[in-house]
């Protein structure tokens, strides 16, 4: 069974890690969000792709929830001491990846190619594709003004309420993305933030249409547990932009695109227009990630 997974960073990466325990990794294509990408200190950083790379390679830091395990911060200390740009935290090990990617992009290699190279070098067998090789940037409209995604998320600690999200850039799907969606026996949407992790993927030319035209089931996993985000602003965004944090509000973000929604047993059992699959959706370790992936795949049948 071939599966295509749409994914953001941390929530998506935890789920992807479980998925490759359930299916042969070579049957899994992960399509990652690049709307969060940014340049820091002259380096091209792709936070969501990197979360996926580190999780799939088993190199991620479980405690911190992002970045690499066994990380150190000496380069960043130097940056701070020199009065450089230090609002976006890059660890020493993490920096190595950004150096390799930045050099490749400057030499004209597409993001999809350098991502594949990095994944292969780290022994990742699943296919990891950026949604697009083109420059896409998520903008957040708030009562305090419009901000590039990371300025709102990291620098301002996502404290501003969100009125709307926008995706800047004319983007075409990266090589292999539309093919993977067309060839999949099932399409999964990870428990990622719908607005800032999944919508930017859907905004890439051809991807939403690919999902709409699917002849196979598409199952989303809710990123809320008991109506609350496990981490981050997804619950506040849903409350403000979708009108609530019930499963129906999550499903409304994917209207016309999903056949089932996997929700937590602590979520309200209020009306839902798509098939509801109830399970424990909190991923605290590899076993719980695997169980959630198993349930999501079970919902495909
Ligand atoms: P980001 O790009 O790093 O912000 O990551 P994602 O968008 O992929 O994931 C963020 C979302 O993951 C948040 O809305 C969390 O509520 C959700 N999330 C994190 N851990 C879990 C979990 O264990 N279970 C579920 N269901 N959602 C989770
Ligand atoms: Ca992200």
State which of 7, 9, 10, 53 you would mutate to test the pocket of ligand 1, scoring each by most atoms of that ligand within 8 A of its C-beta.
10
Q: How far is the CA of 16 from the centre of ligand 2 (A)?
A: 14
Lining residues, ligand 1, CB within 6 Å: 8-12, 14, 48, 51, 190-193, 197, 221-223, 225, 229-232, 234, 281-283
Q: What digits encode the pLDDT tens for the residues 203-216? A: 999 999 999 999 99
The pLDDT assigned to 65 comes to: 87
The pLDDT assigned to 280 comes to: 98
Q: How far is the CA of 104 from the centre of ligand 2 (A)?
A: 22
Query: What average pLDDT does range 163-174 have in this prediction?
Result: 98
For the beta sheet containing 186-189, the strands, ordered from the edge strand earlier in sequence to the opposite edge, are: 127-130, 28-32, 3-7, 186-189, 218-221, 260-264, 275-279
pTM of the entire predicted model: 0.98
State which of 19, 51, 220, 223 you would mutate to test the pocket of ligand 1, scoring each by most atoms of that ligand within 8 A of its C-beta.
223
Q: What digits encode the pLDDT tens for the residues 44-89? A: 999 999 999 999 999 999 888 899 999 999 999 999 999 999 999 9
Sign of the CA dihedral with 129 first, then 132, 134, and 136 last? negative
Q: What digits encode the pLDDT tens for the residues 80-118? A: 999 999 999 999 999 999 999 999 999 999 999 999 999
Record the tokens describing residue 217, joined without a space: 């089931």
Q: How far is the CA of 190 from the centre of ligand 2 (A)?
A: 12
- Please give the helix or strand (H or E) that residue 212 lies within, else none: helix 207-212
State which of 37, 230, 237 you would mutate to test the pocket of ligand 1, scoring each by most atoms of that ligand within 8 A of its C-beta.
230
- CA 38 to each of CA 35, 41, 111, 135: distance values in angstroms, whole numbers, following the listed order: 9, 10, 13, 10
Neighbour-count burial of 32, counting CB atoms closer than 10 A to its CB (0-12 exposed, 13-18 middle, 19+ buried): buried
């Amino acid at each position: 069974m071939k599966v295509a997974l749409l994914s953001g960073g941390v929530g998506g990466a935890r789920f992807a890690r479980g998925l490759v325990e359930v299916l042969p990794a070579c049957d899994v294509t992960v399509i990652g969000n690049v709307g969060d990408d940014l340049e820091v200190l002259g380096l091209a950083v792709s936070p969501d792709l990197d979360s996926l790379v580190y999780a799939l390679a088993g190199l991620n830091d479980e405690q911190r929830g992002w970045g690499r395990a066994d990380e150190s911060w000496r380069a960043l200390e130097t940056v701070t001491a020199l009065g450089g740009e230090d609002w976006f935290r890059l660890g020493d090990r993490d920096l190595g990846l950004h150096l390799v990617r930045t050099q490749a992009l400057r030499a004209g290699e597409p993001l999809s190619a350098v991502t594949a190279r990095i994944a292969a070098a780290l022994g990742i067998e699943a296919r990891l594709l950026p949604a697009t090789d083109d420059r896409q940037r998520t903008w957040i409209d708030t009562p305090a003004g419009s901000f590039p995604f990371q300025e709102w998320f990291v620098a301002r600690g996502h404290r501003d309420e969100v009125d709307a999200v926008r995706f800047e850039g004319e983007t075409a799907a990266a090589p292999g993305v539309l093919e993977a969606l067309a060839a999949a026996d099932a399409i999964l949407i990870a428990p990622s933030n719908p607005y800032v992790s999944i919508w930017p993927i859907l905004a890439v030319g051809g991807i939403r249409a690919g999902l709409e035209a699917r002849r196979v089931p598409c199952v989303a996993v809710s990123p809320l547990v008991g109506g609350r985000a496990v981490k981050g602003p997804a619950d506040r965004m849903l409350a403000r932009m979708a009108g609530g944090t019930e499963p129906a509000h999550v499903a409304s973000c994917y209207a016309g695109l999903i056949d089932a929604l996997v929700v937590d047993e602590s979520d309200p059992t209020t009306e839902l227009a798509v098939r509801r699959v109830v399970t424990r959706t909190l991923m605290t370790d590899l076993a719980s990630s695997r169980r959630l992936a198993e349930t999501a795949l079970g919902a495909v049948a």
